[in-house]
Amino acid sequence: MIPGKDIQDAGAPAAIYCRVSSKAQTKRGDGLGSQENRCREFASSRRYQVERVFTDDVTGKLSDRPGMKAMLAWLHKNRKHNPVVIIDDISRFARGVEAHIKLRRLLAEAGGTLLSPSIEFGEDSDSRLVEYVLATVAQHQREKKGEQTINRMRARTLSGYWVFQAPIGYRYERVSGHGKMLVRDEPLASILKEALEGYACARFETQVEVKRFLERQPEFPKDLPNGEIRNQRVADILNRPVYAGYIEAPNWGIGLRKGHHEGLISLETFERIQARLKGNAKAPARKDINADFPLRGFILCNDCSKPLTACWSQGKAEKYPYYLCPTKGCASYRKSIRRDVLEGDFEKLLERIEPSARLFDLVRAMFKDAWNMKLAQATQAAKGLQAGIKQTEKQIEQLLDRIVDASSASVIGAYEKRIATLEREKLLMAEQAARIAQPKGTLEESFEHALAFLSNPWNIWRNSDLVMKRMVLRLAFSEPLPYCRNEGLRTPNLSFPFRAIGNFFGDKSEMARPRGLEPLFSP
């Protein structure tokens, strides 16, 4: 500061400039208010008239700081009155030396003088040296603090903790012995679990179907005002191992590792999702398949074997629903089939494939035998997985020894890539071994939904929404059903469970009588 400047400019208009690095700082503390109070006290002692207070809660380039731009405009407007700008500390003015020098030049060109209760600014060489040294120290402190923060975050990530913004479906909570860590955020966690498992098992054929499922959930936050979710958001959810209970940070050189938080899905399910994402792309699900016509696209025209479409036809007083063939040149082209007729025939078909009570009891007994067999197989499989883990660890050790002896960067890179693959395989085997070591629940709990479906698919169809109705079609039938306008539904090609039951017990699904063709003889 030039000697006597504060005396000769006493009463000159003054502006206060305050800055914090993020909006979060304005909520957690009173940084802006503290800066302003100190600057007002300084202005009062020097008899300056504070006319404006400019604030910024962002950092970065000048173009990103609206408070700084507004202050420069105010200086240009009042330059004939020799305005001054008061800052609390040199670190609040700019992030680095280059930015500091640039802002000082812009401020001088606008006719302003920079003042601070922490430092005396001046135009002589000694004053500038002190000013630039302090700006350099402030920059070093900021960079050092950033490095320390990243190092602490990286160390915590290495320990298996998520350190970034909590992904949707999770929230941070302080847990004894862990500090802040991710915990399930209901009901979003359950919604995402259903979406992820649905895509893994092909309940949702495409990412578009996952997107529409999430859009139908009122609790799930939407991206757009019209209630839609961006496609990129769905892709990000499907690609995040954090939902499987694992974390990774490739930018910090941290590979996939088990996290301390609870996963929404298993690592095996996550790998199935990745395999599906890398597979052949499929056409998006049709938007015109809705609850009004659940069989649209599944019922085929008997004449041309093309899927039937559906529409509402306007009558004299109201609209009427119809299915029809849209294929030009077909004998049934545009020939309407009443919805209640076609769907009524389909529901009768579902009723006919319902097994009898005696047959279902036998199916349950078969499930029990299969369950016991699987338990024995699981025990053996767990032993095999443990042996596989030991073998994988041995391969990793061998590759590490080779890296020590290798001198070629390309060879070392190939070894590191192979080690990362083996580590991923080891994690997957460890999870599989832990999961199959002890069955979750009883036979009835594990097969509750499967048994309910086999016992009465028609009841599920009648009382479910569109998603479950489409699931019934996929599970009960191995291919679409042809429909003849004059004769109704043709012979269906049932899925394996119903086909196996039919082949074993016959078309009537009756239990065999206690005697055969030969006459009974007494002992």
Long-range contacts of 409-418 (CB under 8 A, 24+ apart): none
pLDDT digits (tens, 9 = 90+) for 437-453: 555 556 555 566 666 66
The pLDDT, as a whole number, for residue 440 is 57
Residue 220 tokens read as 């799930």
The pLDDT, as a whole number, for residue 391 is 84
Q: What pTM value is reported for the model?
A: 0.50
pLDDT at 96 over 90: no
pLDDT digits (tens, 9 = 90+) for 207-255: 888 888 898 888 898 888 888 889 899 999 999 999 998 888 888 888 8
pLDDT digits (tens, 9 = 90+) for 489-522: 888 887 766 666 554 444 444 434 444 444 444 4
pLDDT at 420 over 50: yes
Report the distance separating Cα 86 and Cα 356, nearest Å. 88
Report the b/e string of 187-208 with b at 16+ CB within 10 A: ebbebbbbbbbbbbeebbbbbb
Using CA atoms, how far residue 419 sits from 76, 160, 450, in Å, is: 62, 19, 40
pLDDT at 170 over 90: yes
Using CA atoms, how far residue 320 sits from 288, 420, 449, in Å, is: 17, 60, 36
User: Angle 231-238/207-215 helices, nearest 10 degrees?
Assistant: 110
Greatest mean pLDDT range, 123-137, 356-370, 421-435: 123-137
Pairing mode, if any, of strands 254-258 and 246-249?
antiparallel
Provide DSSP, 158-182: HTT---SSPPTTEEEEEETTTEEEE
Q: Which of 129-138, 164-173, 297-306 has the lowest mean pLDDT?
A: 129-138
Report the distance separating Cα 285 and Cα 293, nearest Å. 15
Q: Which of 80-89, 167-176, 197-206, 373-382 has the lowest mean pLDDT?
A: 373-382
The pLDDT, as a whole number, for residue 192 is 92
Q: Locate tokens 């009588």: which residue?
A: 513
* Spatial CA neighbour of 487 closest among 344, 302, 359: 302
Greatest mean pLDDT range, 200-204, 287-291, 456-460: 200-204
- Domains assigned to the chain: 5-149 (3.40.50.1390), 170-278 (3.90.1750.20), 299-354+456-505 (no CATH), 357-451 (no CATH)
Q: Who's near 1: CB < 8 A, 6+ residues apart?
A: 113, 115, 120, 121, 122, 127
The burial class, CB within 10 Å (0-12 / 13-18 / 19+), for 148 is: exposed
Average pLDDT of the chain? 79
Helix residue ranges per DSSP H, 447-495: 448-455, 457-463, 466-476
Confidence band of 354 (pLDDT split at 50, 70, 90): low
